[in-house]
Structure 1
Amino acid sequence: MTKKDEFPIEEGSKEAPEQFYIKIMPDGPYFVYGNPPIDQEIIMPNAEGSSWVYQKGKHFETSENPVHLCRCGHSKHKPFCDGSHKHADWDPRETAPHRPLLEEAEEIDGPTMTLGDNERYCAFARFCDARERIWNLVEKAETEEERELVRREAGHCPSGRLVVWDKDTEEVFEPPFEPSIGIIEDPGIKVSGPIWVKGGIRIEGADGRSYEVRNRVTLCRCGQSSNKPFCDGTHASMHFCDGIPLEKGKGEW
């Protein structure tokens, strides 16, 4: 296991207890250790049709440790691996940089808040457009109502592409998450999204190096991201669908 002092922890995040971590197999699945809960996280719209909340769907019972989650996109037993990666046409190589996300982020300053945005990690969940585009909101946010909307839109970004902090206190806002795994479903655009890793779970690459520990991360599960192991929104353009049914009243395909 990688020693704690060998990998960074993003400001505002904290590392999950050490029994929780994910190991990426060189040509295979994600090995998830510690048995964190795994649930569908369904993106649900508001009255205007914009992404607004996550609703929990199917809970995936697991007893193995580690649990093997598909990352090639071809398993017939999603979200779990069934060995399909051995014969699938996909590129398992990790291409994401081993650098802190905010190191390469654009900073957008407002009167009371600063927004960090690293588009490379966009998971196309679209919460950043829920009321008004967050990039416009942060530039005028002064009242507590305006600030809360900025925090809401940034905090609902599953990948952590968007991070917001207070200019006076320099305190980073992060939603409180326990170590857990979400399988994102996006019925609004009829696609299945990435694996949502919450609560500071460490992710160790195939080469043994750990990526920056972050409170919220999205991992590719369509097999086609150009920023592996992280999601870059490709699942939306390729219309990836995992075939896992949604419960009645929790979105439609």
Structure 2
Amino acid sequence: MGEPKDVSVQQGSVQSDPSISVEIVEDGPYRVRGALPLHTQEIVRNEEGRSWSYRQGRAYPVKDGTMLCRCGHSRKKPFCDGSHKTAGVDLAETASFEPMLQEAEEIDGPRYSLTDNERYCAFARFCDNGQRIWNEVRIEGEEHARLAIYMAHQCPAGRLLVWDRSTGNPVEEPLTASLSLIQDPGAGVSGPLVLRGGVRVQSASGESYEVRNRQALCRCGASSNKPFCDGSHASTKFRDGLE
């Protein structure tokens, strides 16, 4: 399969090796193309009880063609066992192919700006530290600026981007291409499949979604913004049983 043409890459992101991608199987699982490391990642809370960092857990074998559960009903999670065929879950893609920033809100601060597209919220809650990222970015001082950048970089979905107002560029760190299965003990749930490092996501139609540094794909089957996570795993109390 050749590299798709006209792939859109978000400003500040770099696409991974083109041979690496995650494909949406129509009404079915995620198909991994290429070999990517896959681990569980537990959200670790700080002394204030806020989401603060990640703890890497168990590794799972992934090779070219590995199928990962998208409906939330597989008995062999994180792998697909065909349960989507009888689970009665609507797996139709509903997300836009337009760039995320097109519908993002912008908040300007003295040194940095913040863009936020709430449709892609994965409910990881790193943004709630300090005086919350929407306020921190507007407060003078290096400490507040560093905290705003840190919170944005922990956001697994890439919903939040901090921008340097002097250069007009996002403040993003290059990430190694990887997959992770989020575990959220603070909320008592399992979260999305997180793609880091500019991994391309291909629709069942063959069209590619915008390539971004951090993306979160739905694993519970309940998102209204499929294939992307919208935090529905929290309200449905999704548990994958892996940790």
What interval of TM-score do these two structures reach, taking the shorter chain for normalisation? over 0.9
Residue number among 185, 208, 211 corresponding to 2:209 in the alignment: 211
The separation in 2 between residues aligned to 1:61 and 1:7, in whole angstroms, is 28
The separation in 2 between residues aligned to 1:71 and 1:166, in whole angstroms, is 36
Aligned AA (1:7)? V
1:249 counterpart residue number:
none
2:53 counterpart residue number:
53
CA 1:144–1:59 in structure 2 vs 1: closer, same or farther (change >3 Å)?
A: same
Aligned AA (2:73)? H
1:193 counterpart residue number:
191
Asked if structure 1 preserves the Cα contact closer than 8 Å seen for 2:3 and 2:18, the reply is no
Gaps of 5+ in 2: none
**Where in structure 1 do 4 or more consecutive aligned residues deviate above 4 Å?**
1-5
Aligned AA (1:96)? A
Aligned residue-pair number: 243
CA positional deviation for 1:2: 7.0
Asked if structure 1 preserves the Cα contact closer than 8 Å seen for 2:14 and 2:174, the reply is no
The separation in 1 between residues aligned to 2:5 and 2:20, in whole angstroms, is 17
The separation in 2 between residues aligned to 1:218 and 1:46, in whole angstroms, is 23
1:251 counterpart residue number:
none
Aligned AA (1:236)? A
1:238 pairs with 2:236 = yes
The separation in 1 between residues aligned to 2:191 and 2:98, in whole angstroms, is 24
TM-score by length of 2: 0.97
The separation in 2 between residues aligned to 1:115 and 1:108, in whole angstroms, is 5
1:224 counterpart residue number:
222
CA positional deviation for 1:61: 2.3
The separation in 2 between residues aligned to 1:125 and 1:2, in whole angstroms, is 35
CA positional deviation for 1:146: 1.7
Question: Following superposition of structure 1 onto structure 2, how do residues 1-253 of structure 1 map, counting pairs within 5 Å?
Answer: 3=3, 5-62=5-62, 64-140=63-139, 142-245=140-243
1:250 counterpart residue number:
none
Residue 6 of structure 1: SS of its match in structure 2?
A: coil
Asked if structure 2 preserves the Cα contact closer than 8 Å seen for 1:2 and 1:208, the reply is no
TM-score by length of 1: 0.93
Asked if structure 1 preserves the Cα contact closer than 8 Å seen for 2:13 and 2:174, the reply is no
Quote the RMSD (CA, aligned, Å): 1.1
CA positional deviation for 1:9: 0.3
CA positional deviation for 1:132: 2.0
Gaps of 5+ in 1: 246-253
